C-alpha cells in the first residue's frame, strides 16, 4: 500500500485536481490511500475563508456566500454534481452552523474545529468524484471521522489516539477499495466531536494513515519540488534536497519549515516508513525522500537546510541574587509550567535566564508572577533561524561559519544555541532582519 497526501494548493483548482487524479491513477497497483486538504488557491483559501466566516458570524454577521461560491465554482469547473455527492448538504449545514454562531455570538475552539472541518470534507468528495467519473477509477470516499480516527479533546491541536488505529485499519481492510479518498487535518473525540490536528495538519494525517495501513511509503504532494535548502519565499536560489533523515526533517518541521507540519515525522519514525515530498505540478521531479539514515556523498554541504520560525517571543529574566541561589531555575520553570507556557530555547548565565516561546503563547501572566522575585523583559517579533544537518555533528568550524555569515549580514544575534544532538544551530534575531540573515547564511552554507 501507499499513502498519498495532497496539500491545499494541489487541490486548489480544476487543473490541479486533474493532475492529482492522474498521479493517483498511476499508483493504482499500490492501492493508494489518498489524504486530501481543503482547496487552497489565490482565489480560494478555503480553510481561511471558513475561519473568517465564523469570526464574522461571532460579531453578528452571518454570510456564507464566499464559501458557497468558491466551493460551487470548483464543482462547476470539474462537472461535479454538488447535490449528488453531498456537497450541497454540507454547505447547507455550514450555513446553519454560521447562523447559530451569529445568534449566540460565541465561537469556542470546539465549534471552530467543526467550522474548519467542512473544507476537507468537501474537497474529499470532489477528488473522489473526479477520480470516478473522469478517470474511471473505482475509488470510494470516507471521511477520517467516519473511518473512526480518534483524538483527545484538545480542540485546535488535537493529538491522535493510537488506540483507535486498529479499528480504522480493519475498516479499510473490509472496504478493500482500489482507492480510498479520505480527509486530512480532521478526526473526532471518542464521543464524536470533530477535532483538528492544527493548521497544516494534513501532513500529519498523511503519516498517521501511512502508519495505520502499514504503507510502504507516504508521499506528501505539494507546490514545491521537495524540502528545500531554505524557504523559497526568502531565497530565490533555494534548492531541492534529495535526501533527509527523519531527524533532520523533524527538526526542520518543528523549527518552521512550513512544507511539513511539525508532528509529521512522528508516525513515520515510529514505523520506519519513508516519506517522499513531491511537486504536483512537476511529478517527474524526484523531490525529497526522508528516511531513517542517509549516505552522504563526499563533499556534500555540511548543513542540509535553514528553517525560519517567525513570531517568537524572547523572555529575559535577570536577578542579582541568582549566583548560588538554590532553586532559582526551578522556581522560574515552575511558573512557566503552571501557566502552560511552552519553551523551545534556553540560555543561562549567572545572573540571567533567557527563554524563547513560540508565537501565540500567552506569557503575560507568567511574566507578572516572575516579577515577584526577578526582573523580566519580553521581546516580541523575534525570529528563530535554525541551521540543520546531521553532518554538522562532529564537523569542526560550523558555528564559526554560521556566525561569520551573520556578521557579514550585519544582523545581530540575540541568542544562540546548539542542541545536545548537535544537528541544529539556532539563532534568534529580530523578525524584521531575518531575511537578510537567512540570505547570507544560505550563501555561506550552500552557494
Q: Which residues bind Mg ion (CB under 5 A)?
A: 7, 200
Alpha-carbon gap, residue 423 to 303, rounded angstroms: 9
| Rounded least distance, CB 112 to ligand ASP, Å | 12
Nine-digit cell string for 287: 523531490
Alpha-carbon gap, residue 127 to 4, rounded angstroms: 13
Which of Mg ion, ligand ADP, ligand ASP, none is residue 184 near (CB under 5 to 8 Å by kind)? ligand ASP
| Rounded least distance, CB 9 to Mg ion, Å | 9
Nine-digit cell string for 185: 487535518
Name which of 224 and 317 has its Cβ closer to ligand ADP.
224
Alpha-carbon gap, residue 167 to 273, rounded angstroms: 20
Long-range contacts of 367-370 (CB under 8 A, 24+ apart): 367/315, 369/335, 369/338, 369/339, 370/317, 370/332, 370/335
- Applying CB under 6 A, among 9, 13, 37, 111 the residue interacting with ligand ASP is 37
Using the rule CB under 6 A, give the single segment among 74-82, 199-207, 243-251, 343-351 that binds ligand ASP. 199-207
Name which of 258 and 435 has its Cβ closer to ligand ADP.
258
Nearest of 140, 151, 160, 59 to residue 101 by alpha carbon: 59
| Rounded least distance, CB 175 to ligand ADP, Å | 26
Nine-digit cell string for 289: 525522500
Asked if residue 262 binds ligand ASP (CB under 6 A), the reply is no
Using the rule CB under 6 A, give the single segment among 66-74, 163-171, 194-202, 367-375 that binds ligand ASP. 194-202
Q: Which residues of 282-301 are buried (b: 16+ CB within 10 A; e: fewer)?
A: eeeeebbbbbeebeeeeeeb
Hey, which residues between 200 and 219 contact ligand ADP (CB under 6 A)? 200
Which of ligand ADP, ligand ASP, Mg ion, none is residue 199 near (CB under 5 to 8 Å by kind)? ligand ASP
Which of ligand ASP, ligand ADP, Mg ion, none is residue 391 near (CB under 5 to 8 Å by kind)? none
**Secondary structure string (H, E, C) spanning 141-177:** ECCCCCCCCEECCCCCCCCECHHHHHHHHHHHHHHCC
Name which of 43 and 432 has its Cβ closer to ligand ASP.
43
Hey, which residues between 40 and 59 contact ligand ASP (CB under 6 A)? 47
Name which of 144 and 361 has its Cβ closer to ligand ASP.
144
Alpha-carbon gap, residue 272 to 151, rounded angstroms: 22
Hey, which residues between 247 and 306 contact ligand ADP (CB under 6 A)? 257-259, 305
| Rounded least distance, CB 157 to Mg ion, Å | 15
| Rounded least distance, CB 55 to ligand ADP, Å | 21
Which of Mg ion, ligand ASP, ligand ADP, none is residue 13 near (CB under 5 to 8 Å by kind)? none
How many residues bind to ligand ADP according to rule CB under 6 A?
20
CB-nearest residue to ligand ADP: 7
Name which of 186 and 374 has its Cβ closer to ligand ASP.
186
| Rounded least distance, CB 339 to ligand ASP, Å | 27
Alpha-carbon gap, residue 287 to 308, rounded angstroms: 21
Which of Mg ion, ligand ASP, ligand ADP, none is residue 223 near (CB under 5 to 8 Å by kind)? ligand ADP
- Applying CB under 6 A, among 202, 313, 409, 424 the residue interacting with ligand ASP is 202
Alpha-carbon gap, residue 250 to 158, rounded angstroms: 19
Using the rule CB under 6 A, give the single segment among 8-16, 100-108, 319-327, 386-394 that binds ligand ADP. 8-16
Name which of 189 and 230 has its Cβ closer to Mg ion.
230
Alpha-carbon gap, residue 58 to 100, rounded angstroms: 9
Q: Report the Cα–Cα distance between both ends of the chain, in Å, rounded.
A: 39
Alpha-carbon gap, residue 140 to 32, rounded angstroms: 11
HSE-CB at 25 with a 13 A cutoff on CA atoms is 16
> Dihedral sign, CA of 91, 82, 124, 143?
positive
Nearest of 159, 375, 354 to residue 263 by alpha carbon: 159
Are 303 and 392 in contact by the 8 Å Cβ rule? The answer is yes
Residues that bind ligand ADP (CB under 6 A): 7-10, 37, 40, 200, 222-224, 227-228, 230-233, 257-259, 305
Residues that bind ligand ASP (CB under 6 A): 7-8, 37-38, 47, 119, 184-185, 199-202
Amino acid at each position: 500500500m501507499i499513502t498519498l497526501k495532497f496539500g491545499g494548493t494541489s487541490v486548489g483548482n480544476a487543473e490541479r485536481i486533474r493532475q492529482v487524479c492522474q498521479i493517483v491513477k498511476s499508483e493504482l497497483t499500490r492501492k493508494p490511500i489518498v489524504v486530501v486538504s481543503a482547496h487552497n488557491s489565490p482565489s480560494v483559501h478555503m480553510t481561511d475563508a471558513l475561519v473568517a466566516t465564523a469570526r464574522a458570524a461571532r460579531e453578528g454577521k452571518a454570510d456564507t456566500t464566499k464559501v458557497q461560491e468558491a466551493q460551487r465554482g470548483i464543482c462547476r469547473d470539474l462537472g461535479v454534481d454538488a447535490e449528488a455527492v453531498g456537497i450541497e448538504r454540507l454547505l447547507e449545514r455550514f450555513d446553519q452552523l454560521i447562523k447559530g454562531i451569529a445568534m449566540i455570538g460565541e465561537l469556542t475552539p470546539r465549534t471552530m474545529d467543526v467550522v474548519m472541518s467542512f473544507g476537507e470534507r468537501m474537497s474529499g468528495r470532489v477528488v473522489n468524484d473526479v477520480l470516478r467519473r473522469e478517470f474511471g477509477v473505482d475509488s470510494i470516499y470516507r471521511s477520517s471521522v467516519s473511518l473512526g480516527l480518534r483524538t483527545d479533546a484538545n480542540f485546535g491541536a488535537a493529538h491522535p489516539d493510537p488506540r483507535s488505529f486498529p479499528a480504522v485499519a480493519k475498516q479499510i481492510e473490509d472496504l478493500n477499495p482500489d482507492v480510498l479518498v479520505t480527509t486530512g487535518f480532521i478526526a473526532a473525540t471518542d464521543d464524536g466531536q470533530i477535532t483538528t490536528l492544527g493548521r497544516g495538519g494534513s501532513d500529519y494525517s498523511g503519516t498517521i494513515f501511512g502508519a495505520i495501513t502499514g504503507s510502504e511509503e507516504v508521499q506528501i504532494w505539494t507546490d514545491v519540488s521537495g524540502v528545500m535548502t531554505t524557504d523559497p519565499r526568502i531565497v530565490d536560489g533555494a534548492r531541492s534536497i534529495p535526501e533527509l533523515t527523519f531527524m533532520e526533517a523533524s527538526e526542520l518541521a518543528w523549527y518552521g519549515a512550513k512544507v511539513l507540519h511539525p508532528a509529521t515525522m512522528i508516525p513515520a519514525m515510529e514505523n520506519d516508513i519513508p516519506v517522499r515530498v513531491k511537486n504536483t505540478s512537476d511529478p517527474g521531479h524526484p523531490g525529497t525522500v526522508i528516511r531513517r539514515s542517509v549516505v552522504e556523498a563526499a563533499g556534500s554541504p555540511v548543513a542540509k537546510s535553514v528553517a525560519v520560525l517567525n513570531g517568537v517571543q524572547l523572555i529575559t529574566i535577570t536577578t542579582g541574587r541568582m549566583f548560588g541561589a538554590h532553586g532559582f531555575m526551578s522556581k522560574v520553570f515552575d511558573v512557566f509550567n503552571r501557566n502552560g507556557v511552552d519553551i523551545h530555547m534556553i540560555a543561562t548565565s549567572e545572573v540571567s535566564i533567557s527563554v524563547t516561546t513560540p508565537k501565540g503563547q500567552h506569557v503575560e501572566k507568567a511574566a507578572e508572577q516572575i516579577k515577584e522575585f526577578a526582573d523580566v523583559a519580553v521581546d516580541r517579533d523575534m525570529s528563530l533561524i535554525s541551521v540543520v544537518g546531521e553532518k554538522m555533528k562532529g564537523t569542526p568550524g560550523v558555528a564559526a561559519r554560521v556566525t561569520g555569515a551573520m556578521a557579514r549580514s550585519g544582523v545581530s544575534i540575540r541568542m544562540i544555541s546548539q542542541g545536545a544532538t548537535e544537528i541544529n544551530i539556532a539563532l534568534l534575531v529580530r523578525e524584521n532582519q531575518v531575511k537578510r540573515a537567512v540570505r547570507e547564511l544560505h550563501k555561506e552554507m550552500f552557494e
